[in-house]
Structure 1
Amino acid sequence: MGTNARYPGLGDRRREERLLREARARGPLQTLSPEQLLLEQSLITHAPRMIRMIGRAWLRFGDMDVEATVRVDRWTDRAVGVEVEVDGEKLRAWIWRGAIGPVTQPQQSFEPAHTRGVEAARA
């Protein structure tokens, strides 16, 4: 079976979506506790709305760990607040800073070329 020349990352993206659905069925997305976060003692930095910050993070659903592409929403000196979409539902969690890293390959946009950047231009 060959690769998709037009959308080279599509197979990996579909595989990740399937793994996230399987993990979601094993339990809820786990997040750090208030005791672990120490939010009352930490400054929270929120990601700018105009910039989409993404990374690769280890997430735990029930007893299953999954590495997935996530959106970074906020962070402290100890933890990162991430968002991931599973079957149209946006799930948010706090994870340890060490559980997230950069995306190793640039994300391919799946928007038609004539609509790319339209929303950013309107804002």
Structure 2
Amino acid sequence: MGTNKRYPHLGSQLAEERELREARKRGALHSLSADQLRLQSQVVTVVPERMQVWGLTWLRFGDVDVRSTVLVKRWTSDAVGVEVDVDGEKLRCWVWQGACQRLQNRVDGWR
């Protein structure tokens, strides 16, 4: 079987979506706790609605970890608030900043 020359990232994207669906069945999406975030003492930067910032990070559903392309919604000096779409449902969580790699555009996570 050949490769998709028009959308070379499509196979990786579909595999990630399948992994997210399977992981979602294993449990809820984990997020950092309020004690870990310390939002009352941290400056939170919010990404404007007209702007999209993409990242690549590890997400945990129940006991399963999935590396996923995410939309960055906000951040502090320690953490990043991200959003991921799983079958049309937008899920949000906080991850440690060191665990999130910024991408120039969405498809870079699937190359």
Query: Shared fold (TM-score greater than 0.5)?
Result: yes
Q: Structure 1: give runs of 5+ residues left out of the alignment.
A: 109-123
Closer/same/farther in 2, CA of residues 106 and 79 from structure 1, 3 Å limit: closer
The answer to whether structure 1 residue 44 and structure 2 residue 47 are counterparts is no
**Which has more radius of gyration?**
1
The answer to whether structure 1 residue 82 and structure 2 residue 82 are counterparts is yes
> CA deviation digits over 1:12-60, x for unaligned, max 9?
0000000000110110000000000000000110012111100101000
TM-score (norm 1): 0.83
> 2: distance between equivalents of 1:30 and 1:81?
12
- The ranges of structure 1 where at least 4 consecutive aligned residues each deviate by more than 4 angstroms after the TM superposition are none
| Percent sequence identity over aligned pairs | 55
> 2: distance between equivalents of 1:49 and 1:107?
20
The answer to whether structure 1 residue 59 and structure 2 residue 68 are counterparts is no
| Structure 1 position 2, deviation (Å) | 1.3
TM-score (norm 2): 0.92
1:95 alignment partner in structure 2:
95
> 2: distance between equivalents of 1:3 and 1:47?
36
> CA deviation digits over 1:56-85, x for unaligned, max 9?
010000000000000000000110000000
1:3 alignment partner in structure 2:
3
Query: Which has the bigger relative contact order, CA under 8 A and spacing at least 6?
Result: 2
> 2: distance between equivalents of 1:45 and 1:90?
20
Closer/same/farther in 2, CA of residues 18 and 34 from structure 1, 3 Å limit: same
> 2: distance between equivalents of 1:52 and 1:82?
11
Higher strand share: 2
Closer/same/farther in 2, CA of residues 77 and 31 from structure 1, 3 Å limit: same
